Chains A and B, each alone.
Chain A
Amino acid sequence: MLKLKKDVVVIGGGPAGLAAAVKVFDNGVEDVMILERDFELGGILPQCIHNGFGLHHFKEELTGPEYAQRFIDDVEDRDIEVKLDTMVLDVSPDRKVYAMNREDGFLEIEAGAVILAMGCRERTAGAIGIPGTRPAGVLTAGTAQRYTNIEGLLPGKEVVILGSGDIGLIMARRMRLEGADVKAVCEILPYTGGLTRNVVQCLQDYDIPLLLNHTVTRIEGNERLEAVEISEVDENLKPIPGTEERIEADTLLLSVGLIPENELSKKADVVLDDRTGGAIVNEGRETNVEGIFACGNVLHVHDLVDWVTQEAEIAGDWAAKYVKGDMRRSDSKIKINAGKNVSYVIPQNIELEDKDRKRIPLYMRVTTPLTACEIKLSADGEELYSFNEPFAKPGEMLSVPLAQKTLNDLGKIEEITVDIIEKEGE
Chain B
Amino acid sequence: MSETKTLTCVACPKGCEVTVKYEGNEILDIQGNACPQGADYAREEIIAPTRILPTTVAVKDGALPLVPVKTTKPISLEIIHDAMKIIGKTKVKAPVKIGQVIIENILETGADVVATRDLPKKAG
Does A197 contact B116, Cβ atoms closer than 8 Å? Answer: no
- CB closest chain-B residue, reference A153: B65
Interface flags for A192-206 (1: CB within 8 Å of B; 0: not) read 000111011100010
Does A152 contact B117, Cβ atoms closer than 8 Å? Answer: no
Nearest-neighbour CB distance to chain B for A43, whole angstroms, equals 13
Does B13 contact A49, Cβ atoms closer than 8 Å? Answer: no
Nearest-neighbour CB distance to chain B for A282, whole angstroms, equals 28
Chain A residues with CB below 8 A from B84, complex form: 177-178
Within 8 A of A (CB), among B65-114: 65-66, 68, 70, 77, 80-81, 84, 98
Number of interface residues of B (CB under 8 A): 28
Chain A residues with CB below 8 A from B8, complex form: 196-197, 199-200
> In the complex, which range does the number of interface residues on chain A fall in?
20 to 34
B56 within 8 A of A: yes
Does B65 contact A201, Cβ atoms closer than 8 Å? Answer: no
Chain B residues with CB below 8 A from A56, complex form: 12-13
Within 8 A of B (CB), among A62-97: 63-66, 68-69
Chain A residues with CB below 8 A from B68, complex form: 46, 49, 63-65, 149
Does B51 contact A197, Cβ atoms closer than 8 Å? Answer: no
Chain B residues with CB below 8 A from A149, complex form: 56, 66, 68
Does B56 contact A49, Cβ atoms closer than 8 Å? Answer: yes
Complex-state Cα separation, A303 to B54, whole angstroms:
19
Most chain B C-beta atoms within 10 Å of own C-beta, residue among A63, A65, A152, A391: A65
| Known pairs A63-B70, A65-B68, A69-B118; A195 contacts B54 (CB<8 A) | no
Does B116 contact A196, Cβ atoms closer than 8 Å? Answer: no
- CB closest chain-B residue, reference A63: B116
Does A46 contact B10, Cβ atoms closer than 8 Å? Answer: no
A101 within 8 A of B: no
Q: Which of A50, A66, A177, A197 contacts B13 (CB 8 A)?
A: A197
Complex-state Cα separation, A51 to B12, whole angstroms:
10
A304 within 8 A of B: yes
Interface flags for A311-327 (1: CB within 8 Å of B; 0: not) read 00000000000000000
Chain A residues with CB below 8 A from B64, complex form: 150-151
Nearest-neighbour CB distance to chain A for B68, whole angstroms, equals 4
Does B15 contact A46, Cβ atoms closer than 8 Å? Answer: no
Within 8 A of B (CB), among A38-67: 46, 49-52, 55-56, 61, 63-66
| Known pairs A51-B70, A149-B56, A196-B8; A65 contacts B116 (CB<8 A) | yes
Q: Which 7 A-B pairs have the closest CB atoms?
A: A49-B68, A65-B117, A196-B15, A197-B10, A152-B65, A55-B12, A63-B116
A-binding residues in B (CB < 8 A):
7-10, 12-13, 15, 17, 49, 51-52, 54-56, 58, 64-66, 68, 70, 77, 80-81, 84, 98, 116-118
B-binding residues in A (CB < 8 A):
46, 49-52, 55-56, 61, 63-66, 68-69, 148-152, 177-178, 195-197, 199-201, 205, 303-304, 391, 396
